[in-house]
Chain A
Amino acid sequence: MTDLLNQLNESLGHVNHWITIFLILAGLYIVVAKSNMIKKLVGLSIFQTSVYLLYISPGKIVGGTVPIISEGYAVYSNPLPHVLILTAIVVGVATLALGLAIVVRIKEAYGTIEEDNIYAQDWD
């Protein structure tokens, strides 16, 4: 029974990685393939957010708990990845805010936020 569980766990481990990778790629695909500037920014934040999983999941420890030292617990998950990702989240939202400000200005200057149309107007 435990063997079976272990095996299941092992294959799920790979599958979990693959889904994480799928999320990263889907975000990147939106950024590269789509033309709408706001949609690209949404894709960019999905791309960034999915990367967080690559950091947080190795920090988890079996039987571990939240890294807040308290009596009765001995095993804690690694706090370092959490700190790094907190910083990354903040950087991500700062980039989003700035990107949206630029998009608003582009809308005012060009009358559109479709990248294709903008290049058609100014660069031919």
Chain B
Amino acid sequence: MINFILLIFLAAVTLGIVGLRNLFAIVVLSGGYSFVMATLLIVMDAVDVGMTEAAVGAGVSTVLLLSALHLTSTETGPSKHSNLLPLALVILIGAALIYGTWDLPMYGDPETPVHRHVGPYYLENSVRQTTIPNVVTSVLASYRGYDTLGETAVIFTAGIGVMMLLRGRRKKSDAGGAGQGD
């Protein structure tokens, strides 16, 4: 029931973001979206994820977006092209998703494959094999530690990438392609 209320809240925020033209308001709303999402995740027992979503979605993303707004502009222009094609595309994908999730097990059902295979192994063995009671940490850093190494590499890529793109001297490069932009 709480889930339902929070989801309705999220839907309302999202509708606001779709309709708004002021980027500043959009950024603030998207921060709010992340907070509600974080609450929802915690309700579903995902405390680590909720904490991260709050820190990243509401914190880091908002700071990044605001600093980008500072360097660009805060109003969006009017949309010139028709919205029919995007709408049709989105409805098609939505139909596929509703079709795919129709038969999925009920929320919280303990007899689903997710709860019978692989998952329980971590819960049963984490303390014995790694002495770590927070199973999310032991899966993250050990059982699937290689994914986390990849994740660290993704952050590293983004960090160096942002520096490469924005550290050069600021200069208007010309359209012809002969110019030496940086």
Direct contact of A and B (CB under 8 A): yes
Give the B-binding residues of A (Cβ under 8 A): 9-10, 12-30, 32-36, 38-39, 41-43, 45-46, 49-50, 52-54, 56-70, 75-87, 89-98, 100-105, 107-109, 112-114, 116-117, 121-122
Q: How far is the CB of A88 from chain B (nearest CB, A)?
A: 9
Could you say which of B87, B148, B158 contacts A87, with CB atoms under 8 Å apart? B148
Q: How far is the CA of A89 from the CA of B101 in the complex (A)?
A: 23
A-B contact pairs, 12 of them (CB 8 A): A24-B94, A42-B17, A58-B114, A62-B108, A67-B45, A76-B135, A81-B46, A83-B139, A83-B144, A87-B147, A97-B64, A97-B162
List 19 additional A-B contacts (Cβ < 8 Å) besides A9-B106, A52-B41, A95-B158: A19-B4, A19-B7, A32-B90, A35-B76, A36-B77, A45-B57, A53-B40, A56-B46, A59-B45, A61-B115, A67-B45, A80-B114, A87-B148, A91-B151, A100-B68, A101-B161, A116-B80, A117-B77, A121-B175
Q: How far is the CB of B78 from chain A (nearest CB, A)?
A: 8
Give how many A-B residue pairs fall within 8 Å (CB-CB).
277
Q: How far is the CB of B80 from chain A (nearest CB, A)?
A: 5
Per-position contact with A for B86-124: 1 when CB-CB < 8 Å, else 0? 110111011001100110111111101011001100110
Q: How many residues on B have C-beta within 8 angstroms of the other chain's C-beta atoms?
A: 97
**Would you call B123 and A25 a contact (CB within 8 A)?**
no
